Amino acid sequence: MSVPRSIQPPTVVIVEDETQIARFVALALEGEGMVSHAAGSVRDGLIAVGTRQPDLVILDLGLPDGDGVTLISELRAFSDVPVLVLSARSQEGDKVAALDAGADDYLTKPFGVAELMARVRVLLRRHARQDADSRDGRITIGNVEVDLVAREVQRGGEALHLTPIEYRLLSVLIRHAGKVLTHRQLLLEVWGPAYVEHSHYLRIYMGHLRQKLETDPAQPRHLLTETGVGYRLVL
Amino acid sequence: MPSDQRPDPDLLLAELQADEARAQRGHLKIFFGANAGVGKTYAMLTQARAQAAQGVDVVAGLVETHGRAETQAMLDGLSVLPRRAMPHQGRTLFEFDLDAALARAPGLLLVDELAHSNVAGSRHPKRWQDIDELLAAGIDVYTTVNVQHLESLNDVVGQLTGVRVRETVPDHVFDAADDVVLVDLPPDELLGRLAEGKVYLAEAASRAREYFFRKSNLIALRELALRRTAERVDAERRASGVVTTEGRVMVVLAPMAQPDRLVRHAARLAGRFKTGWFAVLVESPLLARDAAMQARLFAALKFAGSLGAETATLPGRDVAATLVAYASEHDVGTVIVGASPRRWRPGLAERLLALAPGIAVQTVRVAAAPARWLPRFGRRSGGVLAAIAGCAVSSALLVPLATLLALPNVVMLYLVSVLLVSIRFGRIAGATSALLSVAAFDFFFVPPRLSFNVSDTQYLLTFVVMLGVALTISQLSARLRFQADAATRRERRTAALYELSQALSAALTHEQVVDIALAQLAPRIDADVGLALPSRDEVLSHVGGGPVDLAVADWVFRHGQPAGRGTGTLPAAPAYYLPLAAPVRVRGVLALTPRGDWQPGPEHERFLSTCAAQIALALERVHFVEVAQEALVSMQGEQLRNNLLSTISHDLRTPLTVLHGLASTLVAQPALGEIPQSLAAQLVDETARMNELVANLLDMARLQSGEVRLRRDWQSVEEVVGGTVRAMGGRLSAHALKVDLPAGLPLVEFDAVLIERVLVNLLDNAAKYTPPGSTITLGASAPPGSLLLTVADDGPGLPSGQEESLFAKFSRGAAEGNTGGVGLGLALCRAIVHAHGGTIAAANAGGAVFTVRLPRRPPPTLPDPFQNDPPPEPV
């Protein structure tokens, strides 16, 4: 089953009650040769995901018969398909809830086709790569090279000193590269469940990491801040 | 663990042996005082005389009378041991003759000044050693000592008074004494005696007086003496295994001349024992009839309350039994009663002791209350007239029937009239009626009739018995009536409280509580009832009923204590003010302006404070109901507002999203041709701008709707600046952006999303109002206590004089012109910054400079494990 998947065009389920939005998203996807299926409610969305075995789910958070976040939680019970959430700005709380529930990324409305497709490609690639890439164990972030097996970090060919916490933070980000990680998720993975409210730890250590990894820490290119939501590592 | 308390047999044996030795040894009694002049020697002589009177062979071994006549007089009749002349430094001193005393071997020897040092050449250097020898010889000894002479207290006394005495007695001598009698005199009285020259002072009197006889010293010494005695008694009690009620102090207020003195005494005692104390008043029929005494006792009770006592008025016929019940309920160990010199029946103290042997009863001598045997005629005349009338009526009814009725039946009928009169008019009327009935019976019925003469002496017995029975009936029925009255009064109060709480429990608003309280209280109290309640901002206002002086009420409200008439605070106020104290806080003030000379007594006060508590509880309940309702309403309001805003947001954004998406789809279609594609691109830009506008409008609406919930969190300025630059996207492509952040900016607490909006708007503004190619600088700094964010450009600057009005809604820098934007951006910035408690200002400095100042407090520190994050394993 896994071999033909890479040959077959990727399948995307769009869960969006606004048909106009669903339509242009579908247009954009099909323009790239993907197959899309639209669903207009939480119920239909779940059925579509269950029956179509999609490679990606694009989900609007405001649906007529319920909250998109509940759909994610239910979906995560049986599938690890990547989920891209569509939401309005000023709904950071909803985005965080969706990401904590298991969404992979979000896109703020309104968005352009180019933005959409960039995210879609990243998610599809990340998903496909998950098995293959992590065995290699070598990741390149700008001019920084991380050897996950040897636990070595080099910048411009020179060894870079990271403290254990910094290294743990970086490795968590690498493991989820391209995905938005909420503050809560990062604190939980790096510091443990007792520290999920201590977001200032995260800010301080993220600052340290940027100082060490970024060329211009004030305008980072890899360790990106998703204001009000979390962080994302862009390789 | 009872087993731990079982006596050790060896110990018991040792004690038995010690007891035997003690039995052969003489007994030592120490008269212990705080100071010279308290009357130790006098007390010793008094007791010695009592012993002598009982036939004990008492000899005064050495008694220092200091030439005082009173003391000298006490020595009369006692045999005095001659002193022994001792040569000392060329002088002759007359000292206690130990050998003579031992040879004389009296039953009881008096030796003053236990702490005395003997003259060199004596058998023992110290007198206590002499006494030890006397005791060993089986001679009982009485001696005296002052607290400052006790070894262990010597330097405490020295520190306290600045005077160190050299003559000391080891504590074991004091502790081994069989008896210690504390001779106590209040410092004031001692000073009085001193002033009268009744105290002998060895040193130069004036100097000693100045240094030693200061009142503070005397108080301290007295406390030391009392405490030392208490310790001894304590040790004794533990040793003897006697368990007494280690308890609190209760003072009994009964009719007496100066109840306040007794109260003060009790307060002192309680202070010394460091325990709580009670002042109680037993309501009796006797007291109920003497309004002046009642008022005085109520005042004393209140005084006791002000000194910290728990006060109570106890109902009860049997005063002693009532007191004992109360005492045992409240763990009272010491009862203080006033004793006046009297008379034929046992005093209260004796009755208390008889009922509760475990309780210590202290009697304090007080002057008796001025007796009031004869009631004022005016008040009682109604009853007496009724007695006369009753007697006349029964006589008038009985006389015509004289021939028909046997004399015993006439007696019975007279007794009925006595009974009726006493029930209706009380004891005095009853007694009058009894006397009159006997007289009438004699006059009208006993032969010879219509004369007071009696033919048969048998009738004298009849008279006596009849009078006795009539008086008893009048007493008993009057007492019954009093009890019934008291019960009715209590019953009425309980019923009133019950009704009040019933009525209040139905109240749903403050107004209802006020109305109910006034309606319920007013008819039950002979006073105008007024109520003052606080407004939301804690200002009291008069809400109903009689007059309220808000100044007094405010004091009561702030302090939670009653004030005004009849209290210690602002007593000149015409009304009595009571706080409405609920469990959480004081909820208001009740003002009672008496009509006539009404004065709230303790029983009344308790009733009132219970009422006040009920009202306060009702107010509190209503308050919380209102708070809950308000919270619900505001929650619902907020919910509604949020729903509305997100609906608008959704409805506005959906077409924008579609527009933006479709336009961008067109842009990505190269087959479309260049012109349509650029049109599509323009469509995309305009949609983005439209979106920005909608975003600002919605944010403004949110902020304006009040209660913006800032999601404050510790933020890194670099991150927010980075996020801002990213959010600006291509909008700054025509300008040069310089980000100027010093290294090591601290974390600052703010809502990152909103502050990012501020920076985006400021950058957007700068981009809009400066020509392409201008440099825009985004900077930050953190002076103590604040964070400064600046957006500066090198453009044409702001129209001068308009720096402030820029921030008004819908204002724009250039009044006319085609630069887009509605001027909502800066207004939004200001709203956000103000919500953070910060300021935003605009100025011209080689271009426009916008400065945001946010308050800053020290960031949280990282706990050590993270601060000292160790380096990773060597690579």
pLDDT for B871 equals: 41
Q: Do B665 and A18 touch (CB under 8 A)?
A: no
pLDDT bracket for residue A56 (50, 70, 90)? very high
pLDDT at residue B804 is higher than 60: yes
pLDDT bracket for residue B367 (50, 70, 90)? low
pLDDT for B9 equals: 61
Rounded to the nearest angstrom, the minimum Cα separation between B631 and chain A is: 23
pLDDT at residue B275 is higher than 60: yes
Rounded to the nearest angstrom, the minimum Cα separation between B862 and chain A is: 7
pLDDT at residue B868 is higher than 50: no
Count of helix runs (H) and strand runs (E) in chain A: 9, 14
Find the Cα–Cα–Cα–Cα dihedral B436, B437, B441, B442, rounded to 10°: -40
Q: Over pLDDT 90: what percentage of chain B?
A: 5
Distance CA B482, CA B286 (A): 10
Q: Which residue in B has a C-alpha nearest to residue A89's C-alpha? A: B695
Q: Mind listing the pLDDT tens digit for each residue in B505-557? A: 888 888 888 888 888 887 777 788 888 988 888 888 888 888 888 888 888 88
Question: Is the separation of the CB atoms in B725 and B739 below 8 Å?
Answer: yes
Cα–Cα distances in Å, from B455 out to B437, B448, B736? 19, 6, 143
Nearest to A62 among B650, B655, B695 (CB): B650
Q: Do B871 and A161 touch (CB under 8 A)?
A: yes
Nearest to A203 among B719, B723, B753 (CB): B719
What's the complex ipTM?
0.86
Q: Do A88 and B650 touch (CB under 8 A)?
A: yes
Q: Which residue in B has a C-alpha nearest to residue A163's C-alpha? A: B871
Using alpha carbons, select from B161, B150, B159, B155 the residue that is nearest to residue B218: B161
DSSP state of B149: G
Q: Do B658 and A92 touch (CB under 8 A)?
A: no
pLDDT bracket for residue A12 (50, 70, 90)? very high
Winning range, highest mean pLDDT, from B293-297, B494-498, B603-607: B494-498
pLDDT bracket for residue B638 (50, 70, 90)? confident
Rounded to the nearest angstrom, the minimum Cα separation between A122 and chain B is: 19
Question: Is the separation of the CB atoms in B387 and B402 below 8 Å?
Answer: no
Instruction: State the residue for tokens 């990271």.
Output: A162
pLDDT for B22 equals: 63
Q: Mind listing the pLDDT tens digit for each residue in B285-314? A: 666 667 777 778 888 887 787 777 887 777
Measured between beta carbons, the chain A residues lying within 8 angstroms of B713 are 199-200
State yes or no: cis peptide before A110, omega within 30 of 0: yes
Q: Over pLDDT 70: what percentage of chain B?
A: 85
Domain B14-237 of CATH type 3.90.1150.30: no
pLDDT for B707 equals: 57
Q: Which residue in A has a C-alpha nearest to residue B739's C-alpha? A: A218
pLDDT for A37 equals: 92
DSSP state of A89: T
pLDDT at residue B738 is higher than 70: yes
Write the DSSP assignment of B268-290 as a string of letters: HHHHHHT--EEEEEEE-HHHHT-
Structure tokens at B650: 């959704």
Distance CA B266, CA B278 (A): 9
Q: Do A114 and B668 touch (CB under 8 A)?
A: yes
Q: Do A111 and B658 touch (CB under 8 A)?
A: no
Q: Do A111 and B657 touch (CB under 8 A)?
A: yes
Q: Report domain extents, chain B.
A: 14-237, 248-340+347-370, 378-484, 511-532+562-708, 711-855
Rounded to the nearest angstrom, the minimum Cα separation between A1 and chain B is: 34
Of A158 and A91, the structure prediction assigns the larger pLDDT to A158
First to last CA, chain A: 29
**Which one of B656, B660, B689 makes the best mutation probe of the A interface by having the most chain A beta carbons within 10 Å?**
B660
pLDDT for B242 equals: 43
Nearest to A27 among B665, B687, B869 (CB): B665
Q: Do B872 and A167 touch (CB under 8 A)?
A: yes
Q: Do B668 and A219 touch (CB under 8 A)?
A: no
* CATH placement of domain B711-855: 3.30.565.10
Q: Mind listing the pLDDT tens digit for each residue in B471-487? A: 888 888 878 877 887 78
* Mean pLDDT score, B214-235: 80
Write the DSSP assignment of A124-174 as a string of letters: HHHHHHHHHHHHH-EEEETTEEEETTTTEEEETTEE----HHHHHHHHHHH
| Alpha carbon B689 to chain centroid, angstroms | 68
pLDDT at residue B796 is higher than 50: yes
pLDDT for B245 equals: 45
DSSP E strand boundaries for B732-847: 736-740, 748-750, 775-781, 786-793, 839-844
Q: Which residue in A has a C-alpha nearest to residue B699's C-alpha? A: A90
Measured between beta carbons, the chain A residues lying within 8 angstroms of B711 are 92-93, 228
Rounded to the nearest angstrom, the minimum Cα separation between A192 and chain B is: 13
pLDDT at residue B1 is higher than 70: no
- The Cβ-side half-sphere exposure at B536, using a 13 Å CA radius, reads 2
Strands A144-147 and A138-141: antiparallel
> Cβ contacts of residue B754 below 8 Å, gap of 6+?
B699, B710, B832, B835, B836
Measured between beta carbons, the chain B residues lying within 8 angstroms of A227 are 719-720, 723, 727, 752-753, 756
Distance CA B774, CA B767 (A): 8
DSSP state of B490: H
Nearest to A203 among B657, B727, B747 (CB): B747
* CATH placement of domain B511-532+562-708: 3.30.450.40
Q: Mind listing the pLDDT tens digit for each residue in B411-428? A: 888 888 888 888 878 778
Instruction: State the residue for tokens 């009239």.
Output: B417
Using alpha carbons, select from B691, B769, B782, B786 the residue that is nearest to residue B729: B691
Using alpha carbons, select from B242, B251, B247 the residue that is nearest to residue B333: B247
Of B264 and B775, the structure prediction assigns the larger pLDDT to B775
pLDDT for B340 equals: 64
Q: ∠B236-B237-B238 over CA atoms, to 5°?
A: 90
CB contacts < 8 Å between A and B, how many? Answer: 142
Of the CATH numbers 3.40.50.620, 3.40.605.10, 3.30.200.20, 3.30.530.50, which one belongs to the domain with range B248-340+347-370?
Answer: 3.40.50.620
Q: Do A20 and B713 touch (CB under 8 A)?
A: no
Strands B28-33 and B140-146: parallel
Nearest to A113 among B665, B715, B875 (CB): B665
Distance CA B532, CA B577 (A): 10
Nearest to B716 among A25, A207, A226 (CB): A207
Question: Is the separation of the CB atoms in B69 and B135 below 8 Å?
Answer: no
Of B13 and B143, the structure prediction assigns the larger pLDDT to B143
Question: Is the separation of the CB atoms in B277 and B266 below 8 Å?
Answer: yes
Q: Do A24 and B711 touch (CB under 8 A)?
A: no
Range with the poorest average pLDDT among B177-191, B238-252, B575-589, B805-819 = B805-819
* Mean pLDDT score, A91-105: 87
Measured between beta carbons, the chain A residues lying within 8 angstroms of B699 are 90
Query: How many CB atoms are located within 10 Å of the residue A169 CB?
Result: 25
Q: Do A88 and B653 touch (CB under 8 A)?
A: yes
Rounded to the nearest angstrom, the minimum Cα separation between B612 and chain A is: 47
Distance CA B449, CA B462 (A): 16
Rounded to the nearest angstrom, the minimum Cα separation between B823 and chain A is: 20
Rounded to the nearest angstrom, the minimum Cα separation between A23 and chain B is: 9
Rounded to the nearest angstrom, the minimum Cα separation between B873 and chain A is: 8
Q: Do A225 and B714 touch (CB under 8 A)?
A: no
* Mean pLDDT score, B182-209: 71
For residue B28, list its beta bridge partners.
B141
Q: Which residue in A has a C-alpha nearest to residue B688's C-alpha? A: A110
Q: Do B747 and A200 touch (CB under 8 A)?
A: yes
Cα–Cα distances in Å, from B30 out to B47, B112, B145, B174? 12, 10, 7, 8
Question: Is the separation of the CB atoms in B320 and B582 below 8 Å?
Answer: no
**Which one of B643, B648, B657 makes the best mutation probe of the A interface by having the most chain A beta carbons within 10 Å?**
B657
Question: Is the separation of the CB atoms in B526 and B595 below 8 Å?
Answer: yes
Nearest to B661 among A91, A113, A159 (CB): A113
Nearest to B860 among A25, A92, A200 (CB): A200
> Average pLDDT over chain B, rounded to whole?
79
pLDDT for A84 equals: 93
Of B401 and B209, the structure prediction assigns the larger pLDDT to B401
Rounded to the nearest angstrom, the minimum Cα separation between B268 and chain A is: 57
Nearest to A163 among B719, B727, B872 (CB): B872
Q: Do A163 and B870 touch (CB under 8 A)?
A: yes
Strands B586-594 and B277-283: unpaired
Distance CA B102, CA B134 (A): 7
Nearest to B662 among A24, A163, A167 (CB): A24
pLDDT at residue B854 is higher than 90: yes
pLDDT for B846 equals: 83
Question: Is the separation of the CB atoms in A10 and A56 below 8 Å?
Answer: yes
Q: Mind listing the pLDDT tens digit for each residue in B640-680? A: 777 777 778 778 888 888 888 888 888 877 788 888 888 88
* Mean pLDDT score, B559-588: 81
Q: Do A20 and B658 touch (CB under 8 A)?
A: yes
Count of helix runs (H) and strand runs (E) in chain B: 27, 25
DSSP E strand boundaries for B417-479: none
Q: Which residue in A has a C-alpha nearest to residue B750's C-alpha? A: A228
pLDDT bracket for residue B776 (50, 70, 90)? very high
In this chain, the answer to whether the domains covering B14-237 and B248-340+347-370 adopt an identical fold is yes
Winning range, highest mean pLDDT, from A180-194, B582-596, B860-874: A180-194
* Mean pLDDT score, A226-235: 87
Measured between beta carbons, the chain B residues lying within 8 angstroms of A204 are 716, 747, 862
Distance CA B195, CA B310 (A): 38
Burial class (CB in 10 A: 0-12, 13-18, 19+), B281: buried
| Alpha carbon B417 to chain centroid, angstroms | 54
Winning range, highest mean pLDDT, from A49-63, B115-129, B202-216, B593-607: A49-63
